[in-house]
């Protein structure tokens, strides 16, 4: 009987220690479960970080000032004609301001029309002229060649960024920012067929 009492007592003590250990282990877990909070998903749709409009690779052709001087371009249309994707056009009349004003020189990319090619100057929209066949289009004659640093031609559709008038692409004309003083440039030339003679003089 004495041995049975000792065994029963030992079993009770072991059960008490086991219950205490189990409580000690489960207590932190219970506290950790109470501290977990469900965080809602946060989706950022805007940013104040300054960045360019496009960060994806796009086909851009750059015609630098050295290339412009080497080709002897007389106007912006001559510069753009050096690229196969650009097609220059002209009209004998310009009704943007007066009926007697001189003709306009326009450009278009991929043959989609002048009104579908956006022309920018230093990344900003330029004032468009009006011609009977071209509609609203930038007169390239209003941009002096001597003031051009480079011409960037974006040959892919960019209407999602610049609007519907950039369906064919974008022509961005960058002007010279380091110009000081006065520059005089005179040119004369004639074609191999002895026609289309040109004489120009620019004072900037």
Is 50 part of any domain?
Answer: no
Rounded CA separation 177/168 (Å)? 28
Indicate whether 6 belongs to any domain.
yes
In a domain, 174, yes or no: yes
pLDDT per residue as tens digits for the range 156-174? 766 667 777 778 888 899 9
Query: Which of 50, 53, 204, 51 minimizes the C-alpha distance to 123?
Result: 53
Q: In this structure, is residue 193 part of a structural domain? A: yes
Domain housing 15? 1-36
The tally of domains found in the chain comes to: 2
Same domain, residue pair 27 and 67 = no
Q: Which is more confident, 172 or 40?
A: 172
Mean pLDDT, all residues of the chain: 71
Dihedral (CA of 163, 60, 87, 157) sign: negative
Its pTM surpasses 0.85: no
Confidence of residue 1 (pLDDT cuts 50, 70, 90): very low
CATH number at residue 171: 2.170.130.10
Q: Are residues 29 and 103 in the same domain?
A: no
């Amino acid at each position: 009987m004495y041995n049975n009492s000792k065994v029963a007592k030992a079993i009770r003590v072991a059960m008490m220690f086991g219950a205490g250990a189990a409580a000690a282990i489960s207590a932190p877990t219970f506290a950790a479960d109470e501290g977990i909070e469900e965080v809602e998903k946060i989706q950022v749709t805007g940013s104040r970080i300054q960045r360019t409009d496009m960060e994806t690779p796009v086909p851009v052709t750059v015609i630098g000032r050295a290339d412009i001087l080497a080709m002897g371009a007389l106007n912006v249309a001559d510069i753009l004609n050096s690229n196969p994707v650009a097609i220059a056009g002209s009209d004998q009349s310009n009704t943007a301001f007066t009926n007697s004003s001189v003709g306009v020189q326009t450009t278009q990319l991929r043959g989609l029309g002048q009104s579908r090619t956006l022309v920018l100057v230093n990344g900003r929209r330029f004032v468009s002229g009006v011609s009977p066949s071209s509609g609203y289009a930038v007169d390239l004659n209003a941009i002096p060649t001597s003031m051009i640093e480079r011409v960037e031609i974006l040959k892919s559709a960019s209407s999602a960024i610049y609007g519907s008038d950039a369906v064919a692409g974008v022509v961005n004309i960058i002007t010279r920012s380091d110009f000081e003083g006065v520059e005089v440039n005179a040119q004369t030339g004639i074609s191999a067929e002895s026609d289309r003679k040109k004489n120009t003089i620019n004072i900037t």
